[in-house]
Structure 1
């Protein structure tokens, strides 16, 4: 079955003369949301920072949020409240990101997906839905291929499944460059190795240069419900690649969010959350 295309039509108020379009903006990173259910889990040879919100574990169906490359759990601040009203929400900093540590192994999506499973084991979560942004969305698809029994649904925002799906020179885009600079400040404030941001970016960059590179056959092996989502002005991901993913993954849906970019969850959280809750079955 071919991917379904959901077209979202919105009427937007006119912007003042000279103002940047919404998709060109980088709204502030949300403030951390307090919880008494957070910690550092010793898993897979590293320490993973996590935070839990909403329903007690074992009651509301779990939803794990996975952030993008260079980011941290705070980026999901606009999504926690609406989703935690219906589910157990688990945020985690990927290895080497935010407050999580790393070891000497090079970054790789398989390794980072295995970290997610290791945290699930530690928290006694048998199965969860995955909400991923960029690298986090790639991890969601990796989990759907390699850990099928652990994954319910995957909401994959701004993913790519091969390196050719990324727009050349994205790091020079003003919005994306501002994100990289901001992520550096946040890294310095949270990381156990605050002075190593440049080395961290270099090491993540090596992964981006060669991964992912999944075949059509690998994508067709996914049998969990997947929604491929992106902004109509994504600075990083080619539109035809997004459409290719939705057409190749069996029964996947395709959603293009209007007037939004790689940072749609910050730029238009109301629409992003509506789409997410609808996919999870809560709207």
Structure 2
């Protein structure tokens, strides 16, 4: 558990295990704790680096305009600080946007690319709902609005058949998506809403694995994981059951696909 100065922020990160570096990049509002189970498995074979993006967790949350390119440069700055020349880069959701940008802007730093439940462009529908949920929390109208939004858009129907499970998930999300942290969530959300890789994603040439949640309603079909895979020559595509959290809800299968893919990279 460490803090390192990267660009204009103090970034919180953790390093686990030994071997080739594998960097995990979280989505909007996510903290590295979401990777806990994956870190346990991946660190058996690799040096796993997980961190909190600017605007989230224990990393600084400067009140300024963010961009996905800015956050990609934060990751490269972390690699520089840790003396990592090249790494396997795994990003989920907004983290996958950041990972795409790293592979496009800094291809020499990427040994392989794993893109989970991500997209080339944010759905205007999902962004509209997020902006209103954020506004409700910031104005104190509905402190739970953003957590409810996140659950509704992230989990498949079967989860909602169990009210106890939904309530547990909501309580867990409220610890992150609360009044204190929602401004950082908004800054990240605004950055993601401006991202569009559709004009350049086909220029990514590093070995790439793309993983979708087959019932993911966050990701617009036109800009989906499936379309990313179609545009990146030679990429491998996997579909997992579930929605936007498929990479967490199918942890064992996700881990196997990722580790088999990385092992195939020479």
Q: TM-score range by the shorter chain?
A: 0.7 to 0.9
Contact 2:3 2:13 in 1 (8 A): yes
Does the alignment pair 1:208 with 2:192? yes
Does the alignment pair 1:138 with 2:138? no
Q: Supply the distance in 2 between the matched residues of 1:144 and 1:62 (Cα, whole angstroms).
A: 15
Q: Supply the distance in 2 between the matched residues of 1:76 and 1:173 (Cα, whole angstroms).
A: 17
Contact 2:90 2:96 in 1 (8 A): yes
Does the alignment pair 1:223 with 2:205? yes
Does the alignment pair 1:242 with 2:219? no
Could you say what the CA RMSD is over the residues aligned between the two structures, in angstroms?
Answer: 2.4
Q: Supply the distance in 2 between the matched residues of 1:82 and 1:163 (Cα, whole angstroms).
A: 30
Aligned to 2:152: 175
- Larger helix proportion, structure 1 or 2? 2
Call closer, same or farther: CA 1:174–1:88 in 2, change over 3 Å.
closer
The structure, 1 or 2, with the larger RCO (C-alpha pairs under 8 Å, 6+ apart) is: 1
Q: Supply the distance in 2 between the matched residues of 1:200 and 1:113 (Cα, whole angstroms).
A: 17
Call closer, same or farther: CA 1:163–1:187 in 2, change over 3 Å.
closer
Map 1:180-195 onto structure 2 (within 5 A). Answer: 182-186=172-176, 195=179
* TM-score under structure 1 length normalisation: 0.75
* TM-score under structure 2 length normalisation: 0.79
Contact 1:184 1:197 in 2 (8 A): no
Aligned to 2:255: 273
Aligned to 2:158: none
Call closer, same or farther: CA 1:166–1:248 in 2, change over 3 Å.
farther
Aligned to 2:49: 90
Call closer, same or farther: CA 1:265–1:214 in 2, change over 3 Å.
closer
Unaligned segments of structure 2, at least 5 residues: 131-148, 155-165
Q: How many residue pairs end up in the alignment?
A: 233
Measure how far apart 1:165 and its partner are: 8.0
Map 1:20-99 onto structure 2 (within 5 A). Answer: 38-55=1-18, 60-99=19-58
Measure how far apart 1:251 and its partner are: 1.4
Contact 1:98 1:187 in 2 (8 A): no
CA offsets 1:141-179 (integer angstroms, 9 cap, x no match): 110000111111111001111234875766547434777
Measure how far apart 1:70 and its partner are: 0.6
Aligned to 2:62: 103
Measure how far apart 1:123 and its partner are: 0.7
Call closer, same or farther: CA 1:138–1:181 in 2, change over 3 Å.
farther
Contact 1:70 1:183 in 2 (8 A): no
Q: SS where residue 102 of structure 1 aligns?
A: coil
Q: SS where residue 69 of structure 1 aligns?
A: coil
Q: Supply the distance in 1 between the matched residues of 2:118 and 2:125 (Cα, whole angstroms).
A: 9
Contact 2:17 2:47 in 1 (8 A): yes
Measure how far apart 1:91 and its partner are: 0.6
